[in-house]
Amino acid sequence: MSSHYEAPIRKPLVIGEKTYHDITVDVARPVEGRANKLWWRVFAIALIAFLWGVGSMAYTVGTGIGTWGLNKTVGWAWDITNFVWWVGIGHAGTLISAVLLLFRQKWRMAINRSAEAMTIFSVVQAGLFPIIHMGRPWLGYWVLPLPNQFGSLWVNFNSPLLWDVFAISTYLSVSLVFWWTGLLPDFAMLRDRAITPFTKRVYSILSFGWSGRAKDWQRFEEVSLVLAGLATPLVLSVHTIVSFDFATSVIPGWHTTILPPYFVAGAIFSGFAMVTTLLIIMRKVSNLEAYITIQHIELMNIIVMITGSIVGVAYITELWVAWYSGVEYEQYAFLNRATGPYWWSYWLMMTCNVISPQVMWFKKIRTNIMASFIISLIVNVGMWFERFVIIVTSLHRDYLPSSWTMFQPTFVDAGIYIGTIGFFFVLFLLYSRSFPVIAQAEVKTILKSSGEYYKKERDSKENHQSLNH
Amino acid sequence: MYTFSKNLKTFAIVLMVLGLLGIAYGFFSAPKDLDEVKQILTEQAHHGDGGHHVSADAHSDADFEHHAEHVYGQLKNKPWTALYVGSIFVMFVSLGILVFHGINYAASAGWSPVLFRVMEGLSAYLLPGSIIFFLILLASVLGGNHLFIWADDAVVAKDAIIQGKVGYLNVPFFIVRALIFLGGWNLYRVYMRKQSLALDATGDLVYHKKMFKASAGFLAFFIVTESMASWDWIMSIDTHWYSTLFGWYVFASFFVTAITTIAFVTLYLKNKGYLDFVNTSHIHDLAKFMFGLSIFWTYLWFSQFMLQWYSNIPEEVTYFIFRIQEYNLPFFGMLVLNFILPLLLLINTDFKRLTWIVVMAGVCIIIGHYIDFFLMIAPGTVGGSWFIGVEEIGSLMFFIGLFIFVGFNAISKAPLLAKNNPLIEESKHFHY
């Protein structure tokens, strides 16, 4: 009994009189039912956006990078901004499934599945950019250290862009394995409930013959823990390596040692905001309000608030050190951010990232669904601008005033970005209709300790006992 | 209730006395004037320290004079540096304990409440520790020594880079900042202790809520003030150098040491039979934090080092070049103590429950992070004339003795189980 004890002051994580069967039915319902008109409409919009993006990419590769708004000074802009933004969003998924697992946060169970899906789909979007921003993407495979007929011509391992290749590909593979392992018991559940031979066949293949024996569960738990232990340093290192792309350079505004942990904090910040955005919609349309409760939203908001504060401290640190360093280039880089031609993007970023999460200190706001939804969107806008500000404002004015210039995106830049958003939602919408969006096997493990009904039972029993004594 | 054992009290007092003797020895053995230094230097040259010292006639007299003055300054700083490193290290460790307590409180942790009284007790050192530290700080910027070169008007007058920083690095503002940081942390500590005892006495959850809110507020205050304190008290010693990561790096260093200290004291008290409600799962969790944060510290160390090494910008890379040239063994040796050994010792689940393994890894961590603090401070104050000898060890002994004395005294003042904490039952039943 000792391990099942839970303090009475903890709030329930499953609302209502749910049984194990109810959880199964609730999770399986969206998969087993048919998509409604709304789903098809949204899906169609996402698909069109995606196809538009495919067209933009084809146009870029066919015609050349010159179709973008880049110039000789600003060689990185929307491409890498979007790349870092998507990778950053992907981080919350691993954070929720791995870091919160290590910290034994039971509330993660209702949200980890979707967060991991979000990770994978957004890393896929991120992965497009390193390829399409190449001048000769068909030679992209040259980044791999493969033996070849050029006298074994190798890559130089000193470039953070190469580390990116390893980081992102490892990250995607590990996340995928981690996600799929967790899905096995849930796919097995769908397999066992399937009525049509087709779905039976599909979920049989997906669930790898999971039969839920004690030994399997034991190993399953161990694997999850080991993968969580590996994914946590991985998630830190991936965004760290992404930050190295800038921090190892000698560009004022880029070369700063705080970038690694600050990019990671920013990634958690934007990733959690995206999870909040998605889950607020999902709990409504998939009728999962009993599992993704206000408390879940509140806790996600608190993480947004904490990481937002960390990011805020990092901004102030950068600003202060720029002044303290006495290096005029560094000082000018920050003066340029605040008062130069892109002042609006800097102040937009500051407002969205530093001020907006601070309202979460008020319980009224962080437990308000509408407010959380709006702020989560604001945060993602802010985090896009953070990357934009770091990349573009540091490049367009640096050491030599004779190379100062401006950056103007073209419709192709925008088209590709919109395309990745479309692609992301195509994947996410398909996922939400074919995958169990809540890790039902995990939620069932906390039902009796953290379910509202069981908590009430326990309270009344205790009261009863104390009356007798 | 814990009673402060006679043996431990004597041990603490002996540490303090021996430590004081060591500190005093440092101040007495420091060279009194330039001639003494010249004599030392000449002797070193004659004894022929291998090929390290170039023979005296290769130098012109002016060079020798200049070199002697330089070394004189370093040797005068040496006992002060020893004192300074010991006092800031142990004070930051007690601050780290306070922060860990605050994080556990704000996170509503269910495993740790049985350890709260240990943390509350040990953080009692913060008050005397910060008073002593503040006095040393005051002596340092008011001309007692030469730890902070920016506090010397004669240096500033000749140094254009420091002149640009005077808006921040000036004595009055520096002292006011120190007062705010230390005052804020101590106020929180006193407040938390008071509420905690009130919760014990009354069982009124109002006190619990107050502590929860105070912890959240404190952590926000802490993240800002800790960064600034690291710039002020450590980074400003190498006045020309700067790194944005520095504040968080310092935090990681003392935070992991703080958790190790909590683990040590918990193991000690448990061995004495005072903490029956603490089981190996609690130790396991503490050891996991030691393990994880050791890696986290290494991550920050590597990020800071690698980025400056990679881009090799002369203004900032000198910081590391000097350390690698003059402090080679401690600089790389600390990576073994702070990263490799804890990593290997604490990766195994069963090992994390064994007292002797946790102690072994913990000793590495504590020594390693003392060296880390030494490496952050000494190169800027004593330069190449460093040595970890009587005064360094004496200073550490004195502050550890005081830490034990104050900490265990505070632990003996309240029951070891915070009985009305709403999460205490969960913590008592904790099994992992």
Mutate to test the interface with A, among B242, B285, B428, B432 (most CBs of A within 10 A): B242
| Band (B38; pLDDT cuts 50, 70, 90) | confident
pTM: 0.94
B234-251 residue pLDDT tens? 999 999 999 999 999 999
Please check whether residue B246 touches A, CB under 8 A.
Answer: yes
The pLDDT value given to residue A456: 87
B260-317 residue pLDDT tens? 999 999 999 999 999 999 999 999 999 999 999 999 999 999 999 999 999 999 989 9
Share above pLDDT 70 across residues of chain B, in percent, rounded to a whole number: 97
Nearest to B426 among A6, A260, A317 (CB): A6
> Do residues B112 and B104 touch, judged by C-beta distance below 8 A?
yes
- Look at residue B432 and tell me whether its pLDDT is greater than 90: no
Quote the longest CA-to-CA distance of chain A.
87
| Band (B407; pLDDT cuts 50, 70, 90) | very high
Tell me how far apart the alpha carbons of residues B223 and B215 are, in angstroms, rounded to a whole number: 12
Please check whether residue A245 touches B, CB under 8 A.
Answer: no
What's the complex ipTM?
Answer: 0.93
Buried b (16+ CB within 10 A) or exposed e, A313-337: bbbebbebbbbbbbbebbbbbbebb
Q: A313–B224: do the CB atoms touch at under 8 Å?
A: yes
Q: Which parts of chain A register pLDDT below 70? A: 1-4, 463-469
Q: B244–A318: do the CB atoms touch at under 8 Å?
A: yes
Buried b (16+ CB within 10 A) or exposed e, A196-210: eeebeebbbebbeeb
Scanning B63-92 for CB atoms below 8 A from A yields none
Residue at token pair 């320290």: B49
Instruction: Write out the residue range of the structural domain in which residue B148 sits.
Output: 6-49+56-425
Q: A256–B244: do the CB atoms touch at under 8 Å?
A: yes
Tell me how far apart the alpha carbons of residues B58 and B67 are, in angstroms, rounded to a whole number: 13
Q: Give the three-class secondary structure for A451.
A: strand
Domain assignment present for B432: no
Question: How many C-beta neighbours within 10 Å does residue A369 have?
Answer: 13
Q: Give the three-class secondary structure for B387.
A: coil
CB contacts of A244 in chain B (<8 Å) are 307
The token pair at A436 is 């169990």
The per-residue pLDDT of chain B, averaged, comes to: 92
The token pair at B422 is 């709403």
Q: In the predicted model, what is the mean pLDDT of residues B162-177?
A: 94
Q: A233–B300: do the CB atoms touch at under 8 Å?
A: no
Mutate to test the interface with B, among A226, A301, A324, A390 (most CBs of B within 10 A): A324
The token pair at B280 is 């190996």
Q: Which of A124, A118, A225, A109 is nearest to A168 (CA)?
A: A124
> Do residues B141 and B175 touch, judged by C-beta distance below 8 A?
yes
Measure in Å the smallest separation between the Cα of B223 and chain A Cα atoms: 8
Domain assignment present for A469: no
Please check whether residue B177 touches A, CB under 8 A.
Answer: no
Measure in Å the smallest separation between the Cα of A450 and chain B Cα atoms: 13
Give chain A's domain count.
1
The pLDDT value given to residue B57: 53
The pLDDT value given to residue B58: 53
Domain assignment present for B100: yes
Tell me how far apart the alpha carbons of residues A146 and B246 are, in angstroms, rounded to a whole number: 39
The token pair at A402 is 């004779």
Please check whether residue B224 touches A, CB under 8 A.
Answer: yes
Nearest CA in chain A to B166: A324
The pLDDT value given to residue B50: 47
**Alpha-carbon separation of residue B121 from A248, B207, B276 (angstroms):** 44, 18, 18
**Alpha-carbon separation of residue B153 from A163, B67, B78 (angstroms):** 47, 22, 21
The pLDDT value given to residue B52: 47
The token pair at B152 is 């010397």
- Look at residue B399 and tell me whether its pLDDT is greater than 80: yes
> Do residues A93 and A115 touch, judged by C-beta distance below 8 A?
yes
Tell me how far apart the alpha carbons of residues B290 and A328 are, in angstroms, rounded to a whole number: 41
> What's B112-174 look like in SS3?
CHHHHHHHHHHHHHHHHHHHHHHHHHHHHHHHHCCCCHHHCHHHHHHCHHHHCCCCCCCHHHH
CB contacts of B426 in chain A (<8 Å) are 5-7
The token pair at A61 is 């590769």
Domain assignment present for A15: no
Please check whether residue A8 touches B, CB under 8 A.
Answer: yes
Domain assignment present for B114: yes
Measure in Å the smallest separation between the Cα of B161 and chain A Cα atoms: 7
Nearest to A257 among B164, B220, B307 (CB): B307
- Look at residue B55 and tell me whether its pLDDT is greater than 90: no
Size of interface A-B (CB pairs under 8 A): 87
| Band (B82; pLDDT cuts 50, 70, 90) | very high
Give chain B's domain count.
1
Q: Give me the DSSP letters along A299-334.
A: HHHHHHHHHHHHHHHHHHHHHHHHHHH--HHHHHHH
Nearest to B227 among A7, A249, A317 (CB): A317
For residue A3, which amino acid is it?
Answer: S
Instruction: Write out the residue range of the structural domain in which residue A159 sits.
Output: 20-145+152-455
Domain assignment present for A13: no
Domain assignment present for A52: yes
Tell me how far apart the alpha carbons of residues A265 and B310 are, in angstroms, rounded to a whole number: 23
Domain assignment present for B430: no
Domain assignment present for A468: no
- Look at residue B199 and tell me whether its pLDDT is greater than 90: yes
Nearest to B307 among A3, A247, A318 (CB): A247
Instruction: Give me the CATH number covering residue A243.
Output: 1.20.1630.10
The pLDDT value given to residue A1: 38
Domain assignment present for A3: no
CB contacts of B304 in chain A (<8 Å) are 257
Domain assignment present for B296: yes
